[in-house]
Amino acid sequence: MRKAIVVGSGAGGASVARELAGDFDVTVLEAGKPFRPFSCSMSILEQVRKSGLFFDEREIRWVFPAMQIRKTLEKMVLVNGIGTGGTTPIATGNALRLDHDLKQMGIDLDEEFRKLYQEIPVSTDHQQHWNPVTWNLFHICRNLGLDPQPTPKMGDYGRCTHCGRCVFGCPFGVKWDSREFLQDAVSRGVRLVTGCRVDVIVFEHGTVKGVRVKDRFSSRFIPAEIVILAAGGLGTPAILESSGIPCSSSLFVDPVLCVAAELKEAFQNTEVAMPFFFQRDHIMVSPYFDYLSFFFNKGWRKPASRIVSLMIKLSDSNEGGLYRGRVHKMLTASDQRYLEEGVDLCREILGKMGIRKEDVFLGTLNAGHPGGMLPLTERDATSLHPSALPENLYIADATILPKSPGGPPILTLMAVAKKISTRIRKHFAT
């Protein structure tokens, strides 16, 4: 069998590894360590917050190493997971199909989504456990004609304990994440190497020969006949550029801004994250307790149980990139306008709960869905292979998405990864 290296174990990487198992000699290289859910008491962290020791979002790794936070040159906070499962263990488990732009390009993922719905439990069972504030918000949005929809979730949410730790790794195994696919792949012979960071792709006469990796004390070469990059929308471009393959300045990040207020007995901190959503022009809105703002934004110095918050997720413009190892990302005037319209709409919704506009406060602008720096074109629709890449180098993460999907991309990325795997098997398996 031919040797295949998959770089990254998130939504795309785990899916590719599972699909190629048995047809290739597959090794998954993961820069992080095995993921462990956050176990520290939230009440203890609230006390630390009161002490003023939390002053920079990057400090989160002191207590939760699986969450990596960096800042753009413009000071926007970027969040991603580092460890087995990539960002999926700290995501909110949403199962939204967001392939409209891909379909317009001629990329048909119907079969891949059909298979995913068979392989992953998806439901809205969490709705039966919503607290009164969530129901109130849902009915307000419905009465305003916003067409709110319960968010389909990956996992067994009938067992949800409402611990409020969705974004810290579900400690009860309720939420599905890509480690399930990864474990299946390993059981079928795939090798998983953690703590192994890929520096560059190694080429010879225009063909990929393997990768150079760094582990704790050394650098070494690992040969392969095909390499699939799935290190994420920032990790993959960094590897490509270090390898001499330039990426475009077309970065999107799906910025998030929360609009919040103090409300007695809100208990949103113990609610399932993003229980329902609605969409408007370039934005998605959903109830969401923003722990990042809660711990690091001075405007959020209220008891966790007394904060009600609505998240605005922006489908931003493709403008930004990497600059000397740093991320450059600036919101355009139209991006700012869509955000402001979203803030006004959230204020209106909270106003229906009796909250005055002057009592509303905003969260920290942050983002967790980077991509778009080597986007597929209509010419690539059949191959799913950007023309700038050697024949035996593929990408299976958000780097190849042409635009911001405007919402949680995990399910869509897995569908893309499935289709890419089919292509790889067809052209490279022996």
Angle subtended at Cα 391 by Cα 386 and Cα 394, rounded to the nearest 5 degrees: 55
- 47 and 167 part of one domain: yes
User: What's the CA gap between 250 and 301, in Å, rounded?
Assistant: 36
> Which range among 15-24, 37-46, 287-296 has the greatest average pLDDT?
15-24
Q: What is the mean pLDDT of residues 54-80?
A: 88
User: What's the CA gap between 306 and 240, in Å, rounded?
Assistant: 46
- 61 and 129 part of one domain: yes
The continuous run of DSSP H or E covering 341 comes out as: helix 333-351
Q: Is the confidence at residue 49, as pLDDT, over 80?
A: no
Is 236 inside any structural domain? yes
User: What's the CA gap between 410 and 13, in Å, rounded?
Assistant: 11
| Residues with Cβ within 8 Å of residue 5, at least 6 apart in sequence | 26, 27, 28, 29, 210, 211, 222, 224, 226, 227, 228
Kindly report, residue by residue over 223-281, the tens digit of the pLDDT: 999 999 999 999 999 999 999 999 999 999 999 999 999 999 999 999 999 999 999 99
Residue listed under structure tokens 């795309």:
12
Tell me how far CA of residue 359 lies from CA of 136, 165, 299, 336, in angstroms: 19, 27, 11, 22
The continuous run of DSSP H or E covering 239 comes out as: helix 232-242
Is 91 inside any structural domain? no
- 360 and 379 part of one domain: no
Pairing assessment for the beta strands 3-7 and 25-29 based on DSSP bridges? parallel
Q: Model confidence at 58, in pLDDT bands (50, 70, 90)?
A: confident
Q: Is the confidence at residue 51, as pLDDT, over 70?
A: no
Q: So what's the pLDDT on residue 173? A: 93
Residue listed under structure tokens 């002191």:
62
Q: How far is CA 265 from the centre of its chain?
A: 30
Question: Is 200 in contact with 212 (CB distance < 8 Å)?
Answer: yes
CB atoms within 10 A of CB 391: 13
Q: Model confidence at 398, in pLDDT bands (50, 70, 90)?
A: very high
Is 107 inside any structural domain? no
Which amino acid is present at 160?
C
pLDDT above 70: percentage of residues in the chain:
99
Q: Is the confidence at residue 62, as pLDDT, over 90?
A: no
- 147 and 10 part of one domain: no
Is 92 inside any structural domain? no
Q: So what's the pLDDT on residue 55? A: 67
Task: Single out the residue in 367, 400, 415 at which a domain terminates.
Answer: 367
E strands within 153-206?
153-154, 191-193, 197-204
The whole-chain average pLDDT of the chain stands at: 95
pLDDT above 90: percentage of residues in the chain:
88
- 349 and 268 part of one domain: yes
Q: Model confidence at 52, in pLDDT bands (50, 70, 90)?
A: low
Q: What is the mean pLDDT of residues 12-37?
A: 98
Q: So what's the pLDDT on residue 367? A: 96
SS3 category, 315 = coil
378: domain CATH number? 3.50.50.60
Which amino acid is present at 111?
E
Q: Is the confidence at residue 216, as pLDDT, over 80?
A: no
Is 114 inside any structural domain? no
Kindly report, residue by residue over 125-155, the tens digit of the pLDDT: 999 999 999 999 999 999 999 999 999 999 9
Question: Is 72 in contact with 327 (CB distance < 8 Å)?
Answer: yes
Q: So what's the pLDDT on residue 218? A: 84
Q: So what's the pLDDT on residue 14? A: 99
Q: End-to-end CA distance of the chain, in Å?
A: 6
Task: Single out the residue in 315, 340, 367 at which a domain terminates.
Answer: 367
Instruction: Single out the residue of 196, 195, 223, 200 nearest to residue 212, CA to CA.
Output: 200
| 29-55 core/surface letters (b: 16 or more CB in 10 A; e: else) | bbbbeebebbeeebeebeeebeeeebe
- 129 and 221 part of one domain: no
Is 98 inside any structural domain? no
- 142 and 234 part of one domain: no
Kindly report, residue by residue over 303-322, the tens digit of the pLDDT: 999 999 999 999 999 999 99
The continuous run of DSSP H or E covering 111 comes out as: helix 110-119
Domain count, the chain: 2
Is 10 inside any structural domain? yes
Q: What is the mean pLDDT of residues 162-166?
A: 90
DSSP state of 151: P
Q: So what's the pLDDT on residue 83? A: 97
Task: Single out the residue in 345, 367, 389 at which a domain terminates.
Answer: 367
User: What's the CA gap between 26 and 23, in Å, rounded?
Assistant: 9
Q: Which two tokens stand for residue 105?
A: 């390009």
Q: So what's the pLDDT on residue 217? A: 78
Which amino acid is present at 7?
V
Is 301 inside any structural domain? yes
Q: What is the dihedral of CA 415, 417, 418, 422, to 10 degrees?
A: 140
Give helix 333-351 / helix 132-143 axis angle, nearest 10°: 110
- 239 and 264 part of one domain: no
- 362 and 401 part of one domain: no
Domain that holds residue 164: 42-82+121-175+255-367
- 135 and 52 part of one domain: yes
- 181 and 170 part of one domain: no
Q: So what's the pLDDT on residue 15? A: 99
- 55 and 152 part of one domain: yes
Q: So what's the pLDDT on residue 59? A: 81
